[in-house]
Chain A
Amino acid sequence: MTGYSSRVRQDIKRWRAAGLIDARTADVLNLDVEQNERRSLSFGSILAMMAALLLAAAILVFIAANWEVIPRLVRVGALFALILGGYVGGAVLRSRDHPAIGEALFVVGAAAFGGAIALIGQMYHLSGDESSALMTWCAGTALAALLLRSSPLTVAAVAIADAWLAVTLFNGFEIFSSTEFPHLFVAIVAILFCLSYRTHSQPARHLALLSLILYAALFAADHYVAQVAVALAVVSAACFAFAVLSPRPVDRIVQLGGRLPLHGLIGFLTGVLLLQLEFSDSDVRGFAVASAVALAGIAVAIVLAGRESRGLRWIAYLGFALELFIIYAVTMQTMLGTAGFFLVAAIILGIVAVAIIRIEKRLGRLAAREAAA
């Protein structure tokens, strides 16, 4: 795709020079090429990003090895050079029609920044927990994403924020450390979500929403399962409803390529699942109600939004299979042996398969009829 867009850009330059189009038209065409090019992920750009991530991992592990043969001042200098080279080199390449390699170099620069933070911690034996180091890294990466308008760096910042959440939580289980839940995460994700508009990063918005669902699930598991799970399910269902009832206005705000319902469904199922697990060994009626709500929710999701989105259908099928399995495990598990389990698993998979085949066929027929009309 990059080859095509750079060719078109050369053509536009030639047409402009030949007087075939005016300067305004040339700008509009260039902008259009640029915007559409961002949406396509070529094989080459994926490989470039993988190479950047491998290099990033190499930097971090090399620092962890604390190799004394290279003096630490040289190591610091090398990382500073990588930071400068990564960002500036990336900017030069991106402005010369190599956006994929340019973005990959940005990621290398951000990784070198994280590596340098770790190296300084090692040099001066700083025992301040990893969470503050990750927070600094996240802030630096977000700043770079903002100034360079970089989508991959925005995604990286969200991913580092996720790592921060994990480290803060699981370090938190050390004895004598604070037991406060890191609610700051919501604010960080909100800021990064806003940032993603500036950097035109749809993937970062998807990752941010999934991160929020993860956060809610962890919070529920940590503290008040019932309240948080209900809140998660209700808010997710509301998001789903808004996104399905007025898709255009909602997508104009969230700009998720019409995929907000998927997040709504994932959040809803996560919330209900937590409730089911909470009720599973204490409250039979609560469990029955939660299960019924889950199955009804899946059915409603398929009816309302299944036709438009294949992805949503598959999440619904997955949720359906999971639900059947959990309902079986909680209600029957104590009575039947292993053979019974396999039998029921076979029946569940059979039911799921029949349901999927019927729904897909029906939707296919509907689509065909619409195409004919």
Chain B
Amino acid sequence: MSAKRLIAAAFAVALLQIGFLGWMIAGRAAILRDGREIVLKVEPVDPRDLLRGDYVRLTYEISRIPAKLVANVPADGTTRDQQTIVVRLTKGDDGTWHPQTAWLGSPPQVAGPDAVDIAGTIKAGSSLGDGDSDATLWPDYGTERFYLPEGEGKAIEKDMRTRPFQVKIAVSKSGQAQIKALMDGAATLFEEPLY
């Protein structure tokens, strides 16, 4: 390969990779900017990620969807691996949001002004029984972690066990969720900037 072509190829590789990363950032920032805001109560679990640093693992009420809430249970009563689930949320009296109905795949009509649809994935398919069983689905929404500056994870995790924390989440039109802020009661602990 001639020197000129090699350097041109190097520029191309760098710009492609940087462009891809920029596109990732822009997509996430767009959800933060334009998405509808909901607040969820948090139930923490812990560990630590070597590659990306300290984080607290978060689960929510919507991390456990009773099969009864699913409006369109398929005929054979089973879900597939990596299946999409859309959960419709409405605001409760306490200011946090709770699941009302859920659909495997996409919902039949768009959410009204009082409701927000959030999309998740069910990792492992399982049997739901005949619809009124006690089966539970465990969807992921991509919002199950909150990264913290090194060393702050343990303290926050301890506080979380003693009093209720909340998370403010932005949800895009397509249902993609993005954590906006971590709140200790009414006080905001970390608010995410767009970039």
Contacts and interface: CB of A to CB of B under 8 A. Distances in A.
A63 B144 CA distance: 20
Interface string B15-28: 11110110011001
Contacts of A116: 17, 21
A177 B4 CA distance: 49
Contact of A127 (B20, B50, B144): B144
Given A117-B21, A128-B142, A144 B28 contact: no
A80 interface: yes
Given A84-B14, A148-B6, A179-B124, A124 B53 contact: no
B189 interface: no
Interface stretch (B33-41, B95-103, B106-114, B145-153): B145-153
A344 interface: no
Interface in A94-149: 94-96, 109, 113, 116-128, 130, 133, 140, 143-144, 147-149
A113 B28 CA distance: 18
A65 B12 contact: no
A177 B18 contact: no
B51 A64 contact: yes
Given A63-B53, A90-B10, A91-B10, A83 B17 contact: yes
A109 B54 CA distance: 25
A331 interface: no
Contacts of A67: 149-150
Given A125-B147, A127-B140, A91 B21 contact: no
A66 B53 contact: yes
B75 interface: no
Interface in B123-137: 123-124
A38 interface: no
Classify chain B: how many residues form its interface, as a range.
Answer: 35 or more
Contacts of B193: 72
Contacts of A72: 193, 195
A124 B179 contact: yes
A66 B14 contact: no
Interface residues of A, number: 50
A87 interface: yes
A76 interface: yes
A119 B195 CA distance: 12
B72 interface: no
Contacts of B17: 83, 113, 116, 140, 143-144
A143 B124 contact: no
A65 B14 contact: no
Contacts of B20: 140
Contacts of B14: 83-84, 86-88, 109
B191 interface: no
A68 interface: yes
Given A64-B50, A65-B150, A124-B28, A148 B13 contact: yes
Contacts of B51: 60, 63-64, 118, 130, 133
A91 B6 contact: yes
A72 B25 CA distance: 12
Contact of B21 (A65, A120, A144): A120
Contacts of A122: 52-53, 147
A92 B123 CA distance: 46
A222 interface: no
Contacts of B49: 64, 130
Given A64-B52, A83-B17, A92 B7 contact: yes
A94 B192 CA distance: 42
Contacts of B28: 120, 123-124, 126
Contacts of A68: 149
B83 to A, nearest CB: 11
Interface string B76-100: 0000011000000000000000000
Contact of A95 (B7, B16, B54): B7
A198 to B, nearest CB: 11
Given A118-B52, A124-B179, A124-B192, A147 B13 contact: yes
Contact of A87 (B3, B13, B21, B146): B13
Interface string B42-61: 00000001111111010000
Contacts of A177: 123-124
B166 interface: no
Contacts of B178: 124-125
Contact of B16 (A96, A127, A143): A143
Given A67-B150, A91-B10, 19 more contacts: A63-B52, A64-B53, A66-B53, A84-B11, A88-B11, A90-B10, A91-B6, A91-B7, A92-B10, A96-B3, A113-B17, A116-B17, A117-B21, A117-B24, A118-B51, A124-B28, A124-B192, A125-B146, A149-B1
23 contacts: A63-B51, A64-B150, A65-B53, A67-B150, A72-B193, A76-B25, A83-B17, A83-B18, A84-B15, A84-B18, A87-B11, A88-B10, A91-B10, A95-B6, A116-B17, A120-B24, A120-B25, A123-B192, A124-B28, A124-B192, A127-B145, A143-B16, A149-B6
